[in-house]
Structure 1
């Protein structure tokens, strides 16, 4: 009976060691996976530089498009299905520095670049907002104001 008791204690000890080793290994793996997942899902600062097109046009033949560079934003009216463009806005642009949305900025109009365009906004500044992949802003013409939404091409 003494030999049987020694074998039982040795078996229990072995199972306990294996259980503890298994738990600590699983715990570390789970923590590593959680850390890895958090790193993968970290929000990124949006890159707004590039070409944009109005996603809510009133027709396929007439809409607004924009080009955003590191420090400038140019918006054009497009008509004739893309055959005719007219300047609406040329102004300053400041890229976001964090991933927080919505991101808003005030653009100051380049008066020299827009003064000869009949369809250009005469506003000194214009408010823009970026959220969920869309740049939005208000456009007023002939007493009507509408919100334009742009999506990146």
Structure 2
């Protein structure tokens, strides 16, 4: 009789165990079906990251100077842009431009006209004589501007350092 009770208990446990497995599989299959069905009918909209205006603050070094020991360099702060002639491999700097700067408020290419600090530039032998200067920012050319020296005008292109 003792064997009969043990055999009945084992049979009951096996029956419950197999039944539970079958129900779990059925539930998973039903859930998987409803999940895939809801995924095909309700796809969340993909969000593209919002492109931010470029942060131009910092130092921008000329990339098209044609010389290894002299170039132009722009320093942009929150509200000013200062451009220096750099020579002697960086040992000598002379002011070329100092003026206003308004940071971009939109993403993409950007242009602005800087109002020059004419008093500061007049004190520099290599300072610009212009009251305003146009600057441009593009991903390809960095910050750029036209510079005229000794009758020759060139577009200075830079990269952020």
Aligned length: 132
1:91 maps to 99
Please, what is the CA RMSD of the aligned residues? 2.0
- Secondary structure of residue in 2 paired with 1:31: coil
Structure 2: stretches of 5+ with no match in the other structure: 1-28
2:63 maps to 55
2:6 maps to none
Structure 1: stretches of 5+ with no match in the other structure: 1-14
Output the TM-score relative to the length of structure 1. 0.78
What CA distance in whole angstroms lies between the structure 2 residues aligned with 1:55 and 1:26? 51
Q: 2:122, 2:128 within 8 Å by CA — same for their partners in 1?
A: no
1:3 maps to none
Judge which range, 15-24 or 105-114, deviates more: 15-24
Q: Does 1:25 align with 2:39?
A: yes
Q: Does 1:116 align with 2:110?
A: no
Summarize the Cα distance change of 1:81–1:17 in structure 2 as closer, same or farther, 3 Å threshold. closer
What CA distance in whole angstroms lies between the structure 2 residues aligned with 1:53 and 1:21? 55
User: Residue by residue, what CA displacement relative to the aligned partner does 1:28-87 show, whole Å, maximum 9, x if unpaired?
Assistant: 4x425x23xx1xx32111111111111111101110011111111000000111111100
Output the TM-score relative to the length of structure 2. 0.75
Q: Does 1:107 align with 2:107?
A: no
Q: Residue 76 of structure 2: which of 56, 68, 74 is its match?
A: 68
Query: By how many angstroms is 1:21 displaced?
Result: 4.2
Structure possessing the higher radius of gyration over alpha carbons = 2
Judge which range, 15-24 or 103-112, deviates more: 15-24
2:88 maps to 80
Structure 1 segments, 4+ long, off by >3 Å, are 15-21
What CA distance in whole angstroms lies between the structure 1 residues aligned with 2:36 and 2:128? 68
What CA distance in whole angstroms lies between the structure 2 residues aligned with 1:27 and 1:138? 56
